Amino acid sequence: MTGVGVLALWVLVSSASTARTSSDSLYIILLRLPVVSLFLGMGLMVLFNRTHCRVDAGTLRVRGSPIPWPLRRWDRLDIERLDVQPIIGARGSSTWKPPEVRHQLVVTGRDRRQRRIDVFPSWDEAVWVHGQIKRRLNLPD
């Protein structure tokens, strides 16, 4: 069960309970505790989540931190293409705004599977990292 599912179950069970204690403040704390902890965790993830790329000896390694995502690794000969692709998404607002455009760096392997390395807010950053990886791995244009 995902975190959102656990949160929904917690709120349903605690709000459906008719046997409240004499202290309503305890009830309110128990009802809001998971919501506050979920938003706190998501905020910390946005602030501290980082992707580390390392290129050495013909190998591209990508890992995330502080959450230890599994290491992704490609040998130079396993990489068929390295591309920068736009991601166009709507912004969360009730008024119309132009769509948000971000850019992702994608590795296409010899097995034709595409795997995203990271997402960048600007085209310049994505192209710079793309060029550095291609140059260090001696990938053809």
pLDDT tens for 108-131 read 988 988 888 888 888 999 999 999
Tokens of 44: 């910390």
Do 42 and 57 fall into the same domain? no
* Residue in the block written with tokens 């590795």: 107
122: left (phi over 0), alpha (psi -120 to 50) or beta: beta
Could you tell me if 35 and 63 lie in one domain?
Answer: no
Residues 29 and 54 in one domain: no
Q: What is the domain range of residue 99? A: 50-137
Most confident residue range from 8-17, 60-69, 86-95, 99-108: 99-108
User: Among residues 12, 14, 44, which one has the least CA distance to residue 29?
Assistant: 14
Answer whether the bond into residue 66 is a cis peptide, omega within 30°.
Answer: yes
| 16 and 62 co-located in one domain | no
C-alpha to C-alpha distance for 63 and 25, rounded to whole angstroms: 43
- pTM (whole model) above 0.75: no
Is the separation of the CB atoms in 135 and 55 below 8 Å? no
Of 11, 28, 47, which residue is a domain's last? 47
Do 74 and 102 sit in the same domain of this protein?
yes
The reported pLDDT for the residue numbered 128 is 93
Distance CA 33, CA 23 (A): 16
Identity of residue 91 = R
Q: Are 45 and 67 in contact (CB under 8 A)?
A: yes
